[in-house]
Amino acid sequence: MKKRFILLVILTLGISIQAQEKKNTPSKEDKKNFNKEDVRRKNNSLISNQAFSEFTNEGTPGSNTPFTVILKKKEIEGSKFMFKNWENPIVIKRKQGKDQTLNNANYNLEKGTFALATEETIYLLDVINYKEILFKNKVFISTYNPINKSRRYLEVIYASENIKLLRDYTLIIKETENAGGYIVSKNKYSKKSRYYYTSNKDFKEIKLKKSEILQLFGQKSSKILAFANKEKLSFKKDKDLNQIFTYYNSLLF
């Protein structure tokens, strides 16, 4: 009953989403190679595939199933997801109606969106449909990045009407290292963060260096530096950056 309720909530979200085609159905061999680390088998918190199948057979149009289905073989060490544990709370902000709260979510670092998991399958939220997500008490907003021409959910470090400081959690692959023709380590996924400063005119990637951040503040940089020194704030910590940008915004009015 609990599984059906969770599934019903997910299906009513309207999360973009493409129906799973027949060709995407995993073979027995695929299931053997499925990355068990990516999806935990915990019946109390994840939706069973049987319940999903029963529900969709009760009349929900398959073509409108609001999910993108991801099933891949594990070819690189590590996970594409932010956390190993899938028991993470997520609040999906809706433009109309009540917000949706679930407890089986994760963040897909490769796709830049959030995922809901069944016992064996991962469903991705569509980045376009929901502008704001609350994940583990952090705010993420759907953001188009003109630099790499992609849309992802970025964490809000600071936001006002005029400026934003955003953090993008991404995934890189550490290449195999060879020594004398022998493989000494396998390719691995590695997590990486990128920060972006946006205003009415700019969208630029920045590094968390004091000099680079101070350049954003123009003529007010000396006041910002004095404030940061007085309050003993770091230019590398998200919490401190929020205070620095809040102070800067107060100087604009």
How confident is the model over 210-230, as pLDDT tens digits?
999 999 999 999 999 999 999
pLDDT at 58: 35
Strands of 188-198's sheet in order across? 100-102, 90-92, 132-135, 138-145, 150-159, 164-174, 188-198, 203-206
> Is residue 80 in a domain?
yes
- Structural domain contains residue 45: yes
Asked if the structure places residue 243 within a domain, the reply is no
Structural domain span for residue 153: 2-206
**Residue 21 pLDDT > 60, yes or no?**
no
pLDDT at 155 over 60: yes
Lookup result for tokens 């289905």? 69
Q: Indicate the number of domains in the chain.
A: 1
pLDDT at 182: 59
Residues 6 or more apart whose Cβ sits within 8 Å of residue 250: none
> If we measure between CA atoms, which residue out of 38, 45, 59 comes closest to residue 3?
45
pTM of the complete model: 0.70
Q: Does pLDDT of 114 surpass 60?
A: yes
Residue 236 has pLDDT above 60, yes or no: yes
Contact 2, 47 (CB under 8 A): no
What is the pLDDT at residue 251?
93
As given in the structure block, the two tokens for residue 207 are 């590094």
Q: How far apart are CA 138 and CA 119, in angstroms?
A: 26
CA 205 centroid distance within chain: 18
Residue 170 lies in a domain: yes
- Considering the domain boundaries, does residue 231 fall inside one? no
Q: How far apart are CA 234 and CA 145, in angstroms?
A: 26
Q: How many CB atoms lie within 10 A of CB 212?
A: 13
Domain-located, residue 127:
yes
Decide if 183 is inside a domain.
yes
For residue 225, is it within any domain? no
Query: What pLDDT band is residue 177 in, cutting at 50, 70 and 90?
Result: low
